[in-house]
Structure 1
Amino acid sequence: MLHLLQPAVCRALASSSRTFSTTAARRALQNNNRASSSKLKPLLWTTAIAATGLLAWQSTSAIQLDAEPAQADETIDPASGIAFPNTLKIQSKAPLPTYELIGAGVRTVSFLGIRVYSIGFYADLNNPKLNISKSATPEEKIEHIIKNSSCVLRIVPTRSTSFSHLRDGFIRAIQARLVLAKKKNTLTADEELAVQSPLRKFKSMFPNTPLAKGQELDILLAPRELSQQRSLIVRDLGSVQSDWLAHEFFLAYFEGDGLSPPLKKAVVAKLTDFGN
């Protein structure tokens, strides 16, 4: 049934891509004058989509996605007081699933434990492609969810920062994943070469503009399309298509103690009894 729906989904996304043309930099500057919470106003999403085998998605196009305001049912990150809705619905002409909050935690840096942002990990846990044994380890469950389901990372700065500052942290995490993959011999030389272009595009998407305290930034791992590389979409900034980059960006938050140990701990607790 899924393969029958693909053309319609592609056409819908392509159609929605023509409805939005405002630049990411302008939106980022405008956001500094708006309220920092999404409880009052919906968020605008745009993405640049690469070509598909079923329908040409122009890389310069964009789709508009509107995140609904947070619901009353929320989870509070105790370290920052930032609230995350327990369910997240992103509106687009190509319907996306309802995402369930699996865990939230704070990201700290330096030996002083400076809090940079709180982060919530969401996934489509009702995806029929998920076939997880309850006896699997938490790490196995996390990897299976990321590689087989659409996911969202919601990042909320605890202090004023910038897109470029976040970008630098993301790139360091991805570079560490590259080193680890080569050490484990899970990445061939050809695969490493192939990921360089989407990695450069990902790095170039982030403007040198401020990101206010409390302003939400959502990063979406799009649903898998037939015969397509998965899209990693950064709200308002664009997207890249690369299975390796999309998966490893999310997995970086859960390697070892994770980039946010409190997030990893919360996700492990949530998934302990999850599975068949």
Structure 2
Amino acid sequence: MFRPPALRRFAGTPAPIRPLQVVVPRRSIFSRRNDRRRSSRAVENLDIQRLAKEAEEWHRQRRIFLWSGAIAGVLSTIYTAYKLKLAIEREHKLDADLPSTDPLAGANAADRKIVIHDEEGREMVPTGNSTVPMFPRTLDLPAFTTPITSPSPDATATPTITTPSGTTEYTLVGLGLRTVTFVGLQVYVVGYYVATADIAALQNALTKRINPIATTLVPGEREQLRAALLDPAEGERTWDELLAAGVPARSAFRIVPVRDTDFHHLRDGFVRAVQARAGPQTMADESFGEAMRQFRAVFNRGSAPKRKELLLVRDETGRLSIAYDGGANKKEGRPAGRQLIGVVEDERLSRALWLNYLAGKKVASEPARQNIVEGIMGFVERPVGTVASQVVPVLNPKV
């Protein structure tokens, strides 16, 4: 019987073994495009709804976090303000419990001067100027008793200082910055000091001008005194009468340049101020003319570097003593410390020079005049005889 070859193999004849063939896809220029198509199909298979829900949840939690931070900030601000209010009220209550004789009684904590101590423990008052940042709250000055009736033109001849009665403490009343020209060029910082022992007489004289039977001024009376001292005509009349009567008996102006200058520049400013205040009749007086020549001769010197101290001191007779602390200089044989450089006996000259800072339509430093008046307000609000040494107004740093 005839069988086909295929049937004969199944019937028992083994088929020939062929090698395994693996089909490897061929790469072409279109292979990368096909890969991208397969990748895009994979992305299309992602769960878009699930991703949207996760993004929405993330944004919701972020909003909750931001709102929580904002609410916490507002609550902390309110809590801090409340605690500060309680602290201020507690301090005011403590102030109210002070006896009337206490120098701090009746003073607002916001109006008090914060006094800073330096490395040596001295009390310093900020000036608001970066070159001369601090002024001492008190000065211990000797009694300048060496008169100079005919000063030598030799600027190196320095008179000696005699101190038979030791030193006198002066307390800062107010300070300010002297500026010139329309651009406000800063020249020096000036501070007005009054002998601590003479403050009571100044308190009494100013108080009696407003209320003859009072020992201290109430708020309305203090405002009346402030307006009088700041008024050009009334303020000049008030200070002229006080200085002519020797009130305060001892006072001083401390001048510290904030830029390098010279004594001739300072002298010219002082001379113009004296001529404007003294008036033509006084200027025509021969003795006053001699005093002016003495005053000019005192400033016949060289440079006045910044941060060096110049003192104008007026004693109980009205005599003007001028001292300068230029620092030690071995080359010139100059010792360290304040050195007396001149004395002018005529009281009218020192009074005109004092009025240049204290009163009038135009003063050498308006910030200094304002600050001095505020310092005086701190004095007259206390009973006569108490030294309000802590109440020194803050100089406005913007000036």
TM-score (norm 1): 0.64
- Determine the C-alpha separation between the residues in 2 that align with 1:117 and 1:70: 25
Q: Deviations over 1:173-201 (max 9, x none)?
A: 1111133xx4xxxx5687x3321101111
- The residue number in structure 1 matching 2:355 is 251
1:237 aligns to what SS in structure 2? strand
Contact 1:82 1:118 in 2 (8 A): no
Given the alignment of the two structures, is residue 97 of structure 1 paired with residue 168 of structure 2, yes or no? Answer: yes
List 4+ stretches of structure 1 deviating above 6 A. Answer: none
Other-structure match for 1:222: 315
Identical residues among aligned pairs (%): 28
Q: 1:231 aligns with which of 311, 314, 319?
A: 319
Higher strand share: 1
Structure 1, gaps ≥5 residues long = 1-39, 41-68, 225-229
Structure-2 residue corresponding to 1:241? 345
Between the aligned partners of 1:70 and 1:103, the Cα distance in structure 2 is: 23
Higher Cα radius of gyration: 2
Query: Aligned-pair RMSD on alpha carbons?
Result: 2.7
Which of the numbers 112, 115, 120 marks the counterpart of 2:186?
A: 115
**Structure of greater relative contact order (alpha carbons < 8 Å, 6+ residues apart):** 1
Shift of 1:274: 2.9
- Measured after TM superposition, the shift of residue 167 of structure 1 is 0.7
Tell me if the contact between 1:70 and 1:85 (Cα under 8 Å) persists in the aligned partners.
Answer: no
Pair 222,112 (structure 1): closer, same or farther in 2 beyond 3 Å: same
2:121 & 2:362 partners in 1: Cα distance?
Answer: 30
Question: What does residue 163 of structure 1 align with?
Answer: 263
* Distance apart, 1:94 and its partner CA: 2.8
Match of 2:137 among 86, 89, 93: 86
**What 5-or-longer segments of structure 2 have no aligned partner?**
1-117, 143-162, 211-224, 230-234, 324-339, 385-399
Partner residue in 2 for 1:15: none
Q: Does 1:210 align with 2:303?
A: yes
Cα 1:196–1:93 change in 2 (3 A) is same
Provide closer, same or farther for how the CA distance between residues 203 and 213 of structure 1 changes in structure 2, counting only shifts above 3 A.
Answer: same
CA shift, 1:246, in A, is 1.5
Amino acid at match of 1:263: A
Specify which structure has the higher proportion of helix: 2
| Per-residue deviation, 1:70 | 8.2
Length, aligned pairs only? 198
Instruction: Pick closer, same or farther for the CA change 1:177–1:257 going to 2, 3 Å.
Output: closer
* Residue 267 of structure 1, CA deviation: 0.4
Alignment of 1:1-276 (within 5 A): 72-80=122-130, 81-91=132-142, 92-127=163-198, 129-130=201-202, 131-134=204-207, 135=210, 136=225, 137-138=228-229, 139=235, 142-143=239-240, 144=242, 147-148=246-247, 149-179=249-279, 182=280, 187=281, 192-224=285-317, 230-235=318-323, 236-254=340-358, 255-275=360-380, 276=384
